[in-house]
Amino acid sequence: MTEKAFRQLNIDPEFKNLIRPLRREEYRQLELNLVMEGCREDIIAWNDTIVDGHNRYEICNKMRIPYGVKELDFPSRDAAIAWICANQLGRRNISEETRKYLIGKQYEVEKKVQRNRNGYNQYRPNPNIAVGRGRPIDEESGRRTAARLGRKYHVSGATVQKYAKYSAALDTIEQNAPELVPHILSGAYKISFENIVALSEMEPEELRALSKKIGKNP
């Protein structure tokens, strides 16, 4: 059992944003549970950076409740992101929009992890340009990754790749109108895949204006 104490950990915004924020009543219930029972679950960290347990970390430090920290060893940042996505996808209380986003995100980072595992990246490209029926190696690797994740999450490989476009579009929207994304991922704003992509292609000023208009008329 991990020894419980207080420890300074880092919070990475990208890691934290992959985790569904608790609703107010959920946060209060977690707060009550921690006060009554202590922190039973370890905070999960990588290189002193939280990958799971942000809310527990915040509450425990605020309430002076000791907690344990379990360090995981990932070969790269992308591997850590893939783990966070898979961990969140194992939970039942995520919206369908969040599920699509996380599957797409996991697909993209796992493709990168696989390329780097083989020793190839943007600085050292793969010298073999094609494989199989003439498809580029990166495309073939992407197909295999999509098929594997599709089997895991009970969707087709093509659907996994579609979710990757969805997550990339949301990441672009987040850069210019970050207030929109939580509403989309929570399911509060019902926007089709095609319209999400269209929003991501808008000029930043136009998107921000539209976001303000939507905010006034939820």
Which pLDDT value is given to residue 136? Answer: 52
pTM of the model: 0.85
DSSP reduced 3-state for 155: coil
Determine the pLDDT at residue 25.
Answer: 94
pLDDT for the residue numbered 131: 42
Rounded Cα gap, residues 150 and 143, in angstroms: 10
pLDDT per residue as tens digits for the range 73-96: 999 999 999 999 999 999 888 999
Q: According to the model, what pLDDT value does residue 214 have?
A: 79
CA count, 13 A, side-chain hemisphere, 181: 21
What integer pLDDT is reported at residue 139 of this predicted model? 67
Given this model, what pLDDT does residue 114 score?
79
**pLDDT value at residue 121:** 46
> Closest Cα partner for 55 from 75, 33, 76, 71?
33
pLDDT at 50: 98
Instruction: Collect the ranges in the chain with pLDDT lower than 50.
Output: 120-124, 126-134
